[in-house]
Structure 1
Amino acid sequence: MKEAKDLHVSIIGGGLVGSLCACILGNKGVHVKLYEYRDDIRTMEVVAGRSINLALSVRGRSALRLAGLEEEVIDKHGIPMKGRMVHSTSGKRTPVPYDNRGQCIYSVGRRFLNETLLTAAEKNSNVEVFFKHKFLDSRFDDGKYKVLTPDGQVQEDSSDMLIGCDGAYSAVRRQMLKMPRFNYSQFYIEHGYLELCIPPTEDGDFAMEENYLHIWPRHTFMLIALPNQDKSYTVTLFMPFSMFEKLGTPESLLEFFEDNFSDAVSLIGKDRLVTDFFRTKASALVSIKCNPYHVNDKVLLLGDAAHAMVPFYGQGMNAGFEDCEILSQLLEAYSYNLEKVLPAFTDNRNVDAEAICDLAMYNYVEMRHLVTSKKFLLRKKIDNALYTFFPNAWIPLYSMVTFSKLRYSHCISRKQMQDKILESFMWSLAMVVFSSVFFIVFYG
């Protein structure tokens, strides 16, 4: 029987999931080498790539707890968001709580969290961190792999397990594509995103209610804003690329915002809006699924490398962090026998990862369109009422996904069951009403 100290693991990708995985495994006594393609972000003034704020919820917090970092992240840098604040075209703001229990998610800056995880990994005596090392290839039969060092040298090493945490465009997964019976699909939605900013007020305070995720839903596109520690808001515009292409001049941009997000114009500022919008181009959003997540007992994919999703359920990071916790549990359950651990991870995780990828797609429709629907808001009130009276029997879908650790696939199946129950109840109620009216009309 193996022990943690007998296991040597190499992790490709020093982003959020890779760094957390290194922390968790290092805490267990596993020897970890963490390779990051980029330079150390803690020394960089500007970090290229996505900076969409992260929405930290129960699953992510649970994994951070394993690394001993939950308290630091939540207490020092997390801003609680207790619901959505929906902005109408007239500027009216309507709060829509996530549930009636006051549960919340936390807005956390991507860079801060990445820096915190890297620092924790470096402090762990079982973890070595290598920056500016590019993964080249791996031999799936004996665990040997090659990386390109900062000075241009090809360095060969080996490990008991190589973990690919290198994101949606994973180099580790790219090599797995050559394998027979490896399933892979990617889908780009027609919408892209572009980031803007609402600065603090002149008094140095938040310009809007800070404990909400602000949404300007406009059916086929939307604007969202999440609060930051410096009292600013990270604002993200999601809409079809075809619409982005029509906004080619400052005049057309300002006219578009005045028509659709009039209250946001004064919050952002016209000059800043124009400058930030034309500073960069809209970025694409991709959903990726693959199966299996492992190769023999040597290679494993975690996070976006295994299941990239669009950001509309706020579960991308949380699901990746949950991957790390599940791997940790399986290592203990199977006494660090990788021949059992890796297949068990694929069997356990694939159906749930694909489920949350699909839910993320659905939630974009909800955020940009359904939140304006009276039918949707009525259903939410019914869900919350039933949740109040039957908290163990009836749980709204969002609460299951965000505020519990119920498997994603079970969240969907439970939601489908609740839909059938509610539909049957409404039909029964309609029949009772119809029968009563019929009796009154014909029998007085």
Structure 2
Amino acid sequence: MTESSVHPALWPAPFATGAVEATVTVPGSKSVTNRALVLASLAAEPGWLRRPLRSRDSLLMAEALRALGVGIEETVSSSSVAGEPDGGEAWRVIPAGLHGPATVDVGNAGTVMRFLPPVAALADGAIRFDGDPRSYERPLHGVIDALRVLGARIDDDGRGALPMTVHGGGALDGGSVEIDASSSSQFVSALLLSAPRFNQGVEVRHVGGRLPSMPHIRMTVDMLRAVGAQVDEPETGGEPNVWRVSPSALLGRDLTVEPDLSNAQPFLAAALITGGRVTIPDWPERTTQPGDALREIFTEMGGSWELTEAGLTFTGTGRIQGIDVDLGEVGELTPGIAAVAALADSPSTLRGVAHLRLHETDRLAALTKEINELGGDVTETEDGLLIRPRPLHGGVFHTYDDHRMATAGSIIGLAVDGVQIENVATTAKTLPDFPRMWAGMLGA
């Protein structure tokens, strides 16, 4: 059965006829899964990764690491066995000598195209990186230029982008480097994740404009420390915009992946829009995931939340208020927030997200076009969107092969009958089986 036969080219977004009441179990975090795979592959001993996300992005990461020689064994355990995870899917990661020649398919995964070139520099042999056509347009210069300063040899024909070849020498000197990471915080995370294996570690100094998505850098730092790395960073008294990682061996760990809180967004939005109640099990009390900000953002837009042993329960009133919010640290939430704002009873201003023009697609242009074609009134600003609510009508909502565009269109479809999502299958990038989960939430 082909993907197109499972999810037709135009998917009728389900229309909610009443208040949504549901418990939705969200798969693991892509950001945590892919960082954990890199760290486990660079460790000095095997480790376990429990409840990993199985999506296009995470499977691309796993296959790429396997191509470099890492052992990743997938298991399903139904009960607790000594030395093995207790229940559910788990990946056993067995580090090995990294080697080429190999070819890495990054798809359109920012974490793969940015996190793995430093790993490839530690391999012995040539590692070629290629991917989807859109991946050629996404910025990679921050990683390429930095790796050259740190001693790597890379052939990219001067593009600062894919495709390219990293000629690994089995080790990397490391040291100090200045980068402009204002277009992607992943440039910083990419260098930090492999830094313990660099001969001199690394000192990364950001010298550009505003650094977006800081929670993702905090996630990288926390996960490095959890496997034994020594990291000095601004949030613990270090120099502003400077991160230092000392050379060291990394420990193999037994890590359970948190639910992907950003992927919980459309389900929480459903409660807000319909005046219903949705519970997301296993929502962590403390996390570095940007999606945790949804609690406060959606509350400001008209709902309320409660965190209990059952998880996070979000309750809506059916009335949606506009919002003026800086999303610079949580930019990936912008498409879903824009969709909700298009259904509000007052205008919204979303700021601090100019970098979204460089994501899977130009998300600011895409959101403006698609919402306006359904009758909306969205204007791009220098660093975000101005959304003036208007009565919306049905129509085709294009996704541009961007998973968050697909879920944004689905959010609008809850309140607007006749919305059709073009290529809903793109949600498989980070949220496998989204259409079934969405229908299940509505009791279909």
- Shorter-chain TM-score bucket reads under 0.3
Q: TM-score, normalised by structure 1?
A: 0.24
Structure with bigger gyration radius: 1
The alignment's TM-score, normalised by the length of structure 2, stands at 0.24
**Comparing both structures, which one devotes a greater share of its residues to helix?**
1
